[in-house]
């Protein structure tokens, strides 16, 4: 459920007409709903009710400072994967003991930053990383709390580019070698092993792969305990999928997911962490764009809009589907039209949808891409020298620009000329 609904024939973001925001900030832009963000966080928090737990928002899905603050105020921890994300979390007021650091390529500088600023735990992904973290922690005279991310060799049954739990993926250490790696970690004075981490992929629409992975983690917990390790925390990753097409998708609910967690690992008495991104931020955001032209092709109609693949890369990159709706609700009985919806960028991959049947629109009409809150703005670029588009946050009947559209001057302002030019 989200808070982008039609009212009196036009699309609203909570209590604000989307058209009003478009008039104020220009198009294209992203708009996020505070109520949807907090509702989705709350669903996870409630799903784990009764267990000691922390829901750490995967900031990679949407990392605007205002969004982080909304979720942190609601009680979320943060899952970060770079020094930049760590910096963002701290700047939004998140305390270090609520930040977990994931990722296969943490650098010495990033480790140092997190150890100095405070960290809940590092999710370590390899032996070489362990060696480096041990050294960095010792050089600072501190002990780094760690989990080891295990790769359970489970097929997440999602798009290949976002599956992470198979042995061919770069993530984690093979679960078959886990006992050996934990034995090695236990001997390192700069590290304190506190638990196990697993994340098998993103946009999972079936609970079975989670179940397979969590059962393996439960078994490993018992083995590691019998080897003498204190396993007190399980980080179970993120990945629960969302419906991108309202017509035919019904992914499991956070409550089902919570019940699965309790069923598979609840008896171990560990503190549970999860790292959902998309399910919290995805349906909390729209990308709003304006139709520039309707162009007749040989055998099709192109809807050319002012948003492009640089603003939302998911369709080009993963063949992702997003529902696309007009801002003015279609009148019942109106004839639908069929469009290839494309952006202005000079490559054919700049296509959002092919043969999409929707209400007829004309130049200057506004359209909205649904479920664009996650992996939308954060994956944007300035390709074709199109400035990053603004982000807007709505809360009830108020809205605010939370990242302004850079001017052309600002866009080129980071380039510098060498002295010889």
Contact positions vs ligand LLP (CB under 6 A) = 58, 60-61, 79, 102, 162, 199, 202-203, 237-240, 275-279, 314, 318, 374-375
Distance CA 339, CA 106 (A): 44
* 188, 227 contact by CB (below 8 A): no
Residue the block writes with tokens 């989990």: 147
Neighbours of 70 (CB within 10 A): 24
CB of residue 314 to ligand LLP, shortest distance in Å? 5
Binding site annotation covers 314? yes
Handedness of CA 149, 153, 155, 160 (dihedral sign): positive
CB of residue 208 to ligand LLP, shortest distance in Å? 16
Active-site residue flag, 346: yes
Binding site annotation covers 277? yes
Binding site annotation covers 408? no
Q: For ligand LLP, give the closer residue by CB, 27 or 151.
A: 151
Binding site annotation covers 414? no
Neighbours of 321 (CB within 10 A): 15
Distance CA 421, CA 414 (A): 16
Binding site annotation covers 87? no
Longest Cα pair distance anywhere in the chain, in angstroms? 71
Of 346, 357, 417, 421, the catalytic one is 346
Q: For ligand LLP, give the closer residue by CB, 125 or 306.
A: 125
SS3 for 264-312, per residue? HHHHHCCEEEECCCHHHHHHHEEEEEEEEEEEECCCCEEEEECCCCCCC
Distance CA 365, CA 359 (A): 11
Q: For ligand LLP, give the closer residue by CB, 213 or 361.
A: 213
Q: For ligand LLP, give the closer residue by CB, 378 or 411.
A: 378
CB of residue 169 to ligand LLP, shortest distance in Å? 10
CB of residue 160 to ligand LLP, shortest distance in Å? 12
> What percentage of the chain's residues is helix, strand, coil (to nearest 5)?
35, 25, 40
Q: For ligand LLP, give the closer residue by CB, 14 or 197.
A: 197
CB of residue 276 to ligand LLP, shortest distance in Å? 4
Binding site annotation covers 276? yes
Binding-site residue numbers for pyridoxal 5'-phosphate are: 239, 275-278, 375
Binding-site residue numbers for substrate are: 278, 314, 318, 347, 375
Active centre residues (catalytic): 346
Binding-site residue numbers are: 239, 275-278, 314, 318, 347, 375
């Amino acid at each position: 459920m989200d808070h982008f609904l039609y009212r009196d024939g036009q699309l609203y973001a909570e209590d604000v007409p989307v058209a009003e925001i478009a008039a104020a900030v220009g198009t294209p832009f992203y708009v996020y709903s505070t109520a949807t963000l907090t509702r989705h966080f709350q669903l996870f928090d409630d799903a784990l009710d009764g267990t000691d737990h922390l829901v750490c928002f995967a900031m990679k899905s949407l990392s605007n400072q205002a969004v982080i603050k909304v979720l942190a105020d609601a009680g979320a921890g943060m899952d970060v994967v770079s020094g930049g994300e760590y910096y963002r979390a701290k700047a939004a007021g998140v305390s270090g003991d609520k930040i977990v650091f994931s990722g296969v390529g943490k650098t010495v500088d990033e480790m140092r930053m997190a150890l100095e600023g405070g960290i809940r735990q590092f999710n370590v992904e390899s032996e070489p990383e362990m060696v480096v973290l041990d050294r960095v922690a010792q050089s600072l005279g501190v002990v780094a709390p760690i989990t080891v991310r295990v790769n359970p060799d489970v097929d997440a049954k999602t798009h290949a580019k976002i599956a992470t739990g198979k042995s061919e993926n770069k993530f984690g250490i093979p679960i078959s070698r886990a006992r050996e790696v934990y034995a090695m970690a236990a001997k390192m004075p700069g590290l304190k092993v506190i638990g196990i981490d697993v994340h098998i992929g993103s946009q999972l629409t079936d609970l079975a792969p989670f179940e397979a992975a969590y059962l393996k983690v439960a078994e490993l917990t018992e083995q590691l305990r019998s080897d003498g390790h204190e396993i007190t925390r399980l980080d179970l990753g993120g990945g629960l999928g969302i419906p991108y097409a309202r017509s035919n998708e019904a992914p499991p609910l956070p409550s089902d997911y919570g019940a699965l967690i309790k069923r598979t690992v609840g008896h171990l008495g560990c503190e549970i962490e999860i790292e959902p991104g998309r399910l919290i931020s995805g349906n909390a955001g729209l990308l709003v764009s304006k139709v520039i032209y309707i162009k007749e092709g040989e055998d099709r109609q192109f809807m050319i809009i002012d948003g492009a693949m640089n603003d939302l890369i998911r369709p080009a990159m993963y063949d992702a589907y997003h529902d696309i709706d007009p801002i003015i609700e279609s009148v019942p009985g109106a004839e639908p039209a069929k469009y290839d919806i494309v952006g202005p960028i000079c490559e054919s991959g700049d296509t959002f949808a092919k043969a999409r049947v929707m209400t007829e629109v004309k130049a200057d009409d506004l359209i909205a891409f649904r479920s664009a809150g996650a992996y939308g703005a954060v994956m944007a670029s300035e390709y074709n020298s199109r400035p990053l588009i603004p982000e807007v946050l709505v809360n009830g009947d108020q809205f605010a620009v939370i990242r302004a559209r850079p001017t052309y001057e600002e866009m080129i302002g980071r380039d510098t000329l060498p002295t010889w030019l």
